[in-house]
Every structure is written in C-alpha cells, then in structure tokens.
Amino acid sequence: MALDDFFEHMKYGQPYIRGEVDGADFSQREVAGLTVVETKFVEANFARAKLKSMMFVNCDFSLGSFAAATFVKCQFVRCDLQGVRFDSAIIEDSMFTECNGDKAAFPSANMLKTIFMKTSLQGADFSGARLEKSMLMNCVLSGIDLSRGDLRNVALTEADLRTANLDQLNCDTIMVMEADLSGRDLRSLKLARANLMKTSFAGSNLAGMELTGGVFKEANLQRADLSGAKASMTLFAEADLSGANLRNADLSLTNFEGANLQAADFGGAKLEYSVLTNAKAAAARFDGADLSIARFGYADLKGAVFSGARFKQTDLHCAVLDGSLSDGASGSTLPTDQARAIAELYDPRRVAPNDLET
C-alpha cells in the first residue's frame, strides 16, 4: 500500500512527506517529477530504475540499491546513503548536497555534470567509475577508492586524499585545489594538464610522472621527489619546492617565478627557457643542468651550485650570487644591466622633477 501511495502522489505531482517504503521494490520502474521529504527507503531496491527530476530531502536510503539505475536532473539533500549500491549507475545533471555516503559503492558508475557538495564519502567505492564535467566540493574523502577511475574535467576542493586509493587513476584536465596528497606515492597517476593549485604534495613521490602543462601555483612540494618528471610548460609560481628532488626532470618552458627553491636539486635537469625570476634558491643545485635562455632575474642564488651547468644567454640580471659555485660551467650569461636596474627601481611618486625641487 505504501508503494501505491507513493506513485499516487507522483501521478498528481503532490510532495510525498514522511512516508515509509522500507524494502520496497522500485526496480525497472520510472520515478519522475516528485519531491520526497523525510521518507524511509531502507534497503529499498531501485535497480535499473529510471529517475528523472526527482528531489529527495532528509530521506534514508541506507543499505538500498540503485545498481544500473539512471538518474537525470535529480537532487539528494541531507540524505542517508550509507552502504547504498550505485554499481554501473548512470548519473547526469544531478547533485548530492550534505549527504552521508560513507561506504556507498559507485563501481563502474558513469557520472556527467554531477556535483557532490559537502558530502561525506569516507570509504566509498568509486573504483572504475568515470566522472566527466563533475565536482566534489568540500567533501570528506578519507579512504575513498578511486582506483582505475577516469576523471575528465573534474574539480575536487579541500579534499584530504592521504588515505585514498588512487592506483591507476587516469586524470585529464582536472582541478584539485587546496587538497592534501602529502606523503603519497603518486607515480601510477596521470596528471597532465591538471590544476593542482595550493595542494600539498609534501614528501610525495612524483618521480618520472607526466606533469606537462600542469598548474602547481602556491602548491606545497617540500621534499617531494620529481626526479625525471616530464613537467615542461608547467606553472610552479610561488610554490614551495624547498628540498625537492628535480634531478634530470624536463622543466623546459616552466615557470618558477617567486617560488621557494631553497636546497632544491635541479642536477641534470632541462631548464631551457624557464623562468626563475624572484625565486628563493639559496643552496639549490643546478650542476649539469641545461640553463639555456633561462631567466634568473632578481633570484636569490646564494650558495647555489652551477658546476658543469650549460649556460646560453642565461639571464642573471640583479641575481644574488654570493658564494655560488660555477666551476666547469660553460656557455654565456647575461649579467646585471645597470641602466635597466635603475629604471626598475625608479618610482615617479618618490622622485620630483628638477623644476619642482625646493
């Protein structure tokens, strides 16, 4: 009877409030255009159901199943989704807000333009899932399984991913902002063209990874291992790479402007056409590195090592080189241009023309 009452409300477009349809069978049925509030669907079966333009508010779906179901323009607000199965579900233009999805399972699910906002997904299973043009904003993701997943044009913000399973995760043009990936071995990931601004990779292993065209602006890469990484045309502006290992990495056309590179190791790295202006690179190592057409304007290079480095019109304009070593280095550098330095210091607000002097 409860199930009949549910569909009667749907037929006439009347909100369904405080119902109890625990264990009900909605499998392969069409459910559309209904607002459902404070209703219990514990262990309900929605397998292969088609849900369209549905809104669920404060509903309990715990231990239920949406396996192979299709969702279009559906909303779940403050719903209990603990342990719910979404295996192979298709979810489009839908939103989950402030839900509890701990231990929920989305293996091989296909999500397009789907948003998870302030939702807890601790221990949730997204293995093999495909997410495109989707967002996970301010969600709790500790212990989440994203292995073998495919993320395309996906945004994750303020996520703690230190305990997430990321094995063989394929990422293309993703944005991971203010997240925590510190202390992780990330070598199985593909992060080309990823925006990782303000994310922590402290002590993480990114050795040999494909990072071309990525954005690491203001990221924390202290003591990270990027040796042999392919990171040309990558943005590390204002990032913290102190103590990082970048030996033999391809960093051509890469921007380190204003970055903290203290004690970082660039030995043997390719830095052609790279920008390191205003970088803090005291005690950094550039031995054997290719620094052709690189720009070090105003960089702090005190105690830096350039032994065996290859210079070619390398710009050292106003760089601080006290105590640096360059034995065995070859090629040409561009020293400080005094006229340019004076012009760069000129401030018309502080200098009065002669005819205005008193």
pLDDT tens per residue, range 94-146: 999 999 999 999 999 999 999 999 999 999 999 999 999 999 999 999 999 99
User: Is the confidence at residue 349, as pLDDT, over 70?
Assistant: no
Q: Any idea which residue has 């070619």 for tokens?
A: 312
Look up the domain containing 236 and give its range. Answer: 181-358
Chain segment 52-88, per-residue pLDDT in tens: 999 999 999 999 999 999 999 999 999 999 999 999 9
- Judge if 150 and 188 occupy the same domain: no
- Whether 4 maps to a domain, the answer reads yes
- Judge if 251 and 321 occupy the same domain: yes
**CATH classification at residue 55:** 2.160.20.80
- Whether 88 maps to a domain, the answer reads yes
**Total domains present in the chain:** 2
Strand order in the sheet with 50-52: 30-32, 50-52, 70-72, 90-92, 110-112, 130-132, 150-152, 170-172
- Judge if 287 and 190 occupy the same domain: yes
- Whether 59 maps to a domain, the answer reads yes
Closest CA to 173 of 148, 198, 190, 149: 190
pLDDT at 280: 98
Closest CA to 125 of 89, 177, 71: 89
Average pLDDT, the chain: 95
pLDDT at 65: 98
pLDDT at 350: 59
pLDDT at 346: 77
d(CA 116, CA 127): 17
pTM of the model: 0.86
- Judge if 199 and 130 occupy the same domain: no
- Judge if 334 and 242 occupy the same domain: yes
223: left (phi over 0), alpha (psi -120 to 50) or beta: left
- Whether 170 maps to a domain, the answer reads no
pLDDT at 189: 87
Residues 6+ positions from 83 with CB-CB distance below 8 Å: 62, 63, 102, 103, 104, 105
Q: What does DSSP assign to residue 180?
A: B
